[in-house]
Amino acid sequence: MNLSSNGVPIPFSSELFGPLRATGTARLPDPAALRERLRADGYLYLPGFLDPEEVLRLRSAYFSLFPRGYLLPGTTPRQGVFSGRVPRELPEHGVAGHPAHAFVRSDTFDRFLDDPRLAKLAADLLEGDARMLPRRILRHFHRGSRRASRAHVDLDYMDEGSPRVVTMWIPVGDCPPRSGALVYLEGSHTLSPEEYEPLRDTTDRPEDRRQICHDLEFTARALDRRWLYADFAAGDLMVHVPSVIHASLDTTTDAMRLSIDTRFVRAGDTPDPRWLRPWSADDGA
């Protein structure tokens, strides 16, 4: 399997990659056991937590918003297959005028995320009523863009509010590694920020110190730990703590990568004010 992130190759070897540990969702462990697992691993991988049909309906609703020619002829928006051609009139992803910008402000998107099971899970993990922050991100990558999320921790993007946060990452469609899956650096939530600070000097974006590194092989070797991955399917849910290092891989499949990330804080806590407005890709947060 040929993998890369932001155009930098990373060998798919057992030295650099290992499997995420799944938590069964047919009978979810009790809240205390879930909290313990989140504390121990820094993440919860919950295959089939959501209804795959609802997830695929959302995928279909989003890709239906694109101009003709963007999707491969003969395929459906639900499949979300890239034609290889980006229509000239399409603005940059997620800015005003792009379908993702309108979509995160739509009733369809609200209804999908207004799922009581997500709110209950967040409340169980935060041990109190939970509030979903309004800045909910829709990420969408197609093959050839060589763009992905650099290694980072969420805390570096939300350090002006309560650190008591849980993030939920929802693949909107199947998302194996080659489609641009999220990967987690094993046990990295137990590292102190000083331990990975030097990595920030190895970067393709020197103007932004928030990300840790764009080179995932270098990151794994420098911190002597593996990237944990899964063959995500529609319906799966990831939850993580804001101190775990994660990143994503480049999309190299015709099927496009679509995902949502959304965050919860305890209802009484003061969140980072940058997360109180709906997301726009150019909001700088």
Ligand X SMILES: O=C(O)CCC(=O)C(=O)O
**Interacting residue ranges for ligand X, rule: CB under 6 A:** 139, 149, 154, 167, 169, 182, 246, 248, 259, 261
- For the CB of residue 242, give the shortest distance to ligand X in the complex, in Å: 8
- For the CB of residue 241, give the shortest distance to ligand X in the complex, in Å: 10
Nearer Cβ to ligand X (252/259): 259
Nearer Cβ to ligand X (66/275): 275
- For the CB of residue 7, give the shortest distance to ligand X in the complex, in Å: 15
CB-based closest residue to ligand X:
261
| Nearest to 39, CA basis, from 186, 221, 241 | 241
- For the CB of residue 89, give the shortest distance to ligand X in the complex, in Å: 26
- For the CB of residue 246, give the shortest distance to ligand X in the complex, in Å: 6
Nearer Cβ to ligand X (6/23): 6
Nearer Cβ to ligand X (6/25): 6
Nearer Cβ to ligand X (76/233): 233
